Amino acid sequence: MKLLFLGDIVGRSGRDAVVALLPGLKRDLALDAIVVNGENAAHGFGITPKLCQEFYAAGVDAITLGNHSWDQKELMAYADSDPRLVRPLNAVRGTPGRGFAILELPRGKKLLAVQVIGRLFMDAADDPFGAIDDLLARYPLKGAVSAILVDVHAEATSEKMGMGHYLDGRVSAVIGTHSHIPTADAQLLPKGTAYQTDAGMCGDYDSVIGMGKETAVYKLSRKLPTDRLAPADGQATVCGVLVEIDNASGLASSIVPLRLGGRLMQAMP
């Protein structure tokens, strides 16, 4: 199984680049599944139902969210109706939507896509380790599902790496999101789980993590009120990882970074 995961899509620049590239990537890489993090897609803050449908039309199979899940209020009424939209599994009780999706893939394969949100330097959330344990008890790898992707949406690299080692051998891939910077640690963990601390963002890197650099630098350097941050609108780099998953074991056989367009050094699987 070939799985493409793309990091946080930021604003129009990121959206347009992802939608333009996905059909060709799906064909050229013979992808079985595409999962993207879409929590910054709507002008950098949240996502709308309309944007969800645009991503699905471009070939996306599931969309994960994060700490900006509800910045677009209309999503709260929509989330329960979309089985492919994945908010953090360990969100507090009563949060709309679902913390995982089971995707029916060709040749009878099933992919479990799940997201947990970190607790270090983030808003309050329930225990991500306990939440994922409970879910895996219901949907074990090579039991109910053929492959498992975990998006760890967290600020601290230590928490992401801890989750990777905690799940090593129990899921196909653990990929971090949220910090918008692609890390250089793509690897297979000792028991066969693919891991990268952060997939990076799909957005303009002539920016401060996707936001216009002038306003962001003024805000950081002066600590005075500013205009609302808005996404940078230059050419985007699409960042993510390609994970190949062994059909027999459900564990990863390889993980390779992908970076296309924009300012960053290019990397194509």
Phi, psi (deg, nearest 5) at residue 128: -70, -30
Q: DSSP code of 237?
A: B
- The helix/strand/coil state of 115 is strand
Nearest 5°: the CA angle 190, 116, 147 is: 50
Q: How far apart are CA 163 and CA 150, in angstroms?
A: 9
Q: How far apart are CA 17 and CA 12, in angstroms?
A: 8
**Which residues contact residue 244 at a Cβ distance below 8 angstroms, ignoring those fewer than 6 apart?**
1, 2, 3, 252, 253, 254, 255
For the question of residue 68 being annotated catalytic, the response is: yes
**Which residues contact residue 33 at a Cβ distance below 8 angstroms, ignoring those fewer than 6 apart?**
1, 2, 3, 4, 61, 62, 103, 105, 111
Q: In what order do the strands lie in the sheet with 252-260?
A: 85-86, 62-64, 33-37, 2-6, 238-245, 252-260
Q: How far apart are CA 125 and CA 22, in angstroms?
A: 33
Structure tokens at 16: 């347009």
**Which residues contact residue 138 at a Cβ distance below 8 angstroms, ignoring those fewer than 6 apart?**
144
Q: At what angle do helices 11-28 and 49-57 cross, to 10 degrees?
A: 30
Q: Which of 43, 68, 153, 180 is catalytic?
A: 68
Residues catalogued as catalytic: 68
